Structure 1
């Protein structure tokens, strides 16, 4: 049963109080199981959002489980980020990307970083973002 008081944004572009938010969950495929995707599968999930992104005029906040490749990800396959997220950031230039999957208590201590026009935030534990 999903948590009460919230909406699932998985594979959806929603607008809340004028903020355009896109949700893409899942991690890089490293073993059999659910919620793991190959690079090709993630590119396809993003491609399916293009009509909505065009109609809404883009996106302000990208919310993902995994980080973008080489932008806060890990060295091992389990914690690898998606290259397709980097392409997404280059093309759509959202103001923010909020991701998880990288536990800061495992030596990954950079919570906030900048990539071009996008502020990338590792939401491990919690993070208050004032917009």
Structure 2
């Protein structure tokens, strides 16, 4: 299963009239945050493949339509007077922030030869650095990850695996992250990797100004191997059977 991963930057090779031919062999698309909704629209309408997205710490004009926002007095400026409602399939893409899904459109062959759905979960946002929207302390993010535990355990019982792909905006702490307050990764993501061993953790947020910088790191745990991939601009990953 070949997957196109994008984040943080509109890439001219993706935002192109030749995108359909260039990416004709992909099976799915992951959008790891900080992308305009119009760009996601274009990708979905052009490539017409199952697409999942999360929010980063920028381009949050529609964040309030997916999450309740605490604010002081009046409507939050991101809402433009609109009420919250279910937009889980808007832009032709599925929002996976702080959620999990079993996608039967994308089937994986197990070692026993049976087919099972792709198992995916996501976490929006970055480390808290100025108190703005969709920023979290490590403790706050940990609380959100705890809400995913029942689904992970159910997946393990039903399919023998907790998760195939964990889609995040920020990276795990000390894996591809930076030392400035904005770009530090979440330590709780490392706990999540150690506990549930997703095959891939795909993140954004860390810009690659030199495209030779490391964007792929393998993490070995007692529960398995997780490949951490920085989706900045765009990259491709391949998910094989169990």
Q: TM-score range by the shorter chain?
A: over 0.9
> Alignment partner for residue 72 of structure 1, among 167, 172, 176?
176
> Alignment partner for residue 218 of structure 2, among 102, 105, 114?
114
How many Å apart are 1:130 and its aligned residue? 2.1
Which of 1 and 2 has greater Rg? 2
Give the equivalent residue in structure 2 for 1:104. 208
Give RMSD over aligned pairs: 1.6
Q: Paired residues, what number?
A: 131
For structure 2, the 5+ residue unaligned runs are 1-61, 63-86, 107-116, 157-161
Q: Deviations over 1:65-118 (max 9, x none)?
A: 000000110011110000000011011011100000000017881111111101
Q: Deviations over 1:30-89 (max 9, x none)?
A: 002111000110000000111111112211110000000001100111100000000110
Mapped partners of 2:210, 2:135: distance in 1 = 21
- TM-score w.r.t. length of structure 1: 0.94
- TM-score w.r.t. length of structure 2: 0.52
Q: Give the 4+ runs in structure 1 shifted more than 3 A.
A: none
Give the equivalent residue in structure 1 for 2:166. 62
Judge conservation of contact 1:102–1:108 (CA < 8 Å) in 2: no
For structure 1, the 5+ residue unaligned runs are none
Give the equivalent residue in structure 1 for 2:141. 42
Mapping of residues 6-45 of structure 1, within 5 Å: 6-16=93-103, 17=106, 18-45=117-144
